Every structure is written in C-alpha cells, then in structure tokens.
Amino acid sequence: MKAKSVYWIFTGLFTAFMTLSAIPDIIVTDEALAFITGLGYPKYFIPFIGVAKLLGCIAIVIPSFPRIKEWAYAGLFYDLIGATYSQVANSGFQSGIFFMLLPIGIGTLSYIYSHKIRSTSKI
C-alpha cells in the first residue's frame, strides 16, 4: 500500500475520533459537562476545548500549511495526553485508560506518515 493511502486512512480515523469527541464539547452535552467538571475543570472550558479540537482536525486534513499542521498535531496530542493524565490523577489508574492508547497510536501513525509523504512529495 502506498504511503499516501496509509496516511489518509490513519488521518481519517484520527480526525474522525477527535471530531466525534469535539462535537459533544462544542454543544456542551450533559455527558461532556459531567466528564469535564468531574475532572475538576470549569464549565467554560468545555466549548473552548471542543472548538480547539475541531480546528485542529481541520488543520490536519488541509494539505497546505505544514507549520499549522504541526501545531495542530501537537495540540491534539496535548489534549489526549492531558485527558489521560487528568483521568488517572482524578480517579486513579483504571483498566479503561488503556483505550486512550488507540487514538494516541492512530494519531502517531498519521503524524509519522505525514512526514514520510511530505519528504517525498506534497500532501
């Protein structure tokens, strides 16, 4: 399989996961409110982080602006790692936290392949 195809598969999965986690934050659903405030974050943080995740996803799928794409990947990884750390710090280590390895791994592969195809051609 070509590197470009692999990149788009992993990027599609990663942005789908992050977009689907951003939408409840943007519209401040009861579940998002309970989760975020349960971790100790204020209510006003919920739509902010949702919009930031959505903008990061848009930046990743746009083929131009490599520097913005780098910042978007960084921001989305900070979100995932921060959410994982907050959950562990708040509730202790639980087996469900291993789920977070899935989006982190898929995002890592998307990032690696973005650099691989950028070094050979433009995305």
| Whole-prediction pTM | 0.89
Residues 6+ apart with CB under 8 A from 6: 109, 113
pLDDT in tens, 21-57: 999 999 999 999 999 999 889 999 999 999 999 999 9
97 part of a folded domain: yes
Tell me if 56 sits within 8 A of 76, measured CB to CB: yes
Domain that holds residue 11: 3-118
33 part of a folded domain: yes
- How many alpha carbons fall within 13 Å on the CB side of residue 67? 0
pLDDT band at 2 (very low <50, low <70, confident <90, very high): confident
pLDDT in tens, 51-97: 999 999 999 999 888 899 999 999 999 999 999 999 999 888 888 88
43 part of a folded domain: yes
Residue 86 tokens read as 């907050």
68 part of a folded domain: yes
**Phi and psi dihedrals of 97, rounded to 5?**
-70, -20
10 part of a folded domain: yes
Give the chain's domain count: 1
34 part of a folded domain: yes
* Ramachandran area for residue 28 (φ above 0: left; ψ -120 to 50: alpha; else beta): left
123 part of a folded domain: no
